[in-house]
Chain A
Amino acid sequence: MNEEIKTLTISIYTENNIGLLNRISAIFQRRGINVESLTTSQSEIENVNRFVIVVNITETQAKKIVGQFEKQIEVIRAYYHTDEETIYTESCMFKIKSELLFEEPQIQNIIKESNTRIVTVNKEFFVLEKSGRRHEIESLRSQLNVFGIMQFVRAGRIAVTKDQMKVTEMLTAFNNQKQ
Chain B
Amino acid sequence: MNTKTLNKTKEMAGKTERITGAEAIIRCLIAEGVSTLYGYPGGAIMPVYDELFKYKDSIHHVLTRHEQGAAHAAQGYARISGKVGVAMATSGPGATNLITGIADAQIDSTPMVCITGQVPSTLLGSDAFQETDIVGISTPVTKWNQQVTKASQIPEVLAKAFYIARSGRPGPVLVDITKDAQFETFDFEYKKCTGVRSYKAIPDTDPASITAAAALINNAKKPMIVWGQGVILGQAEAEFKAVVEKSGVPAAWTILGASALPTSHELNVGMVGMHGNYAPNKLTNECDVLIAIGMRFDDRVTGNLSKYAKQAKVIHFDIDPAEINKNVHADVAVLGDAKQSLALLLDALNKNTHTAWHQEFKDLYAIEYDKVIKNDISPTKEGLTMGEVLKQINIETKGNAAIVSDVGQHQMIACRYADFNITKSNITSGGLGTMGFALPAAIGAKMAEPHREVVAIIGDGGYQMNIQELGTIFQQKVPVKIVVLNNEFLGMVRQWQELFFDNRYASTEMTNPNFVAIAEGYYIKARKVVKREELEDAVKEMIASKESYFLEVCVEKEGNVFPMIPTGASVSDIRLS
Contacts and interface: CB of A to CB of B under 8 A. Distances in A.
Interface of A: 14-15, 18-19, 22-23, 26, 30, 63-64, 67-68, 70-71, 73-76, 171, 174-175, 177-178
Interface in B397-448: none
Nearest to B173: A73
A67 B200 contact: no
Contact of A22 (B139, B143, B199): B139
B145 A171 contact: no
Contacts of B506: none
Given A15-B198, A73-B144, A26 B322 contact: no
Interface in B318-357: 320-322, 324-326
Contacts of A76: 197-198
Contact of A171 (B139, B144, B197): B197
9 contacts: A14-B198, A22-B136, A23-B139, A23-B140, A67-B321, A67-B322, A76-B197, A174-B197, A174-B200
Contact of A19 (B143, B145, B200, B320): B145
B270 to A, nearest CB: 31
Given A19-B135, A67-B321, A71-B320, A174 B198 contact: yes
Interface string B125-150: 00000000001100110011111000
B577 to A, nearest CB: 34
A86 to B, nearest CB: 23
B136 A70 contact: no
Contacts of B322: 64, 67-68, 70-71
Contacts of B200: 174, 177
A75 B198 contact: yes
Nearest to A13: B198
A106 B534 CA distance: 98
Interface residues of B, number: 23
Contacts of A178: 194-195, 197
Of listed A18, A63, A73, A76, residue having the most chain B CB within 10 A: A73
B208 interface: no
B108 to A, nearest CB: 16
A70 B323 CA distance: 12
A14 B146 CA distance: 16
Interface of B: 135-136, 139-140, 143-147, 164, 194-200, 320-322, 324-326
Contacts of B164: 73
Nearest to A63: B325
Contact of A177 (B143, B195, B321, B326): B195
Contacts of A74: 198-199
A26 B139 contact: yes
A76 B197 CA distance: 8
Which 5 pairs between the two chains have the least Cβ-Cβ distance? A67-B322, A178-B195, A174-B197, A76-B198, A73-B144
Contacts of A19: 135-136, 139, 145-147
Contacts of B145: 19
Contacts of A171: 197
B197 A175 contact: yes
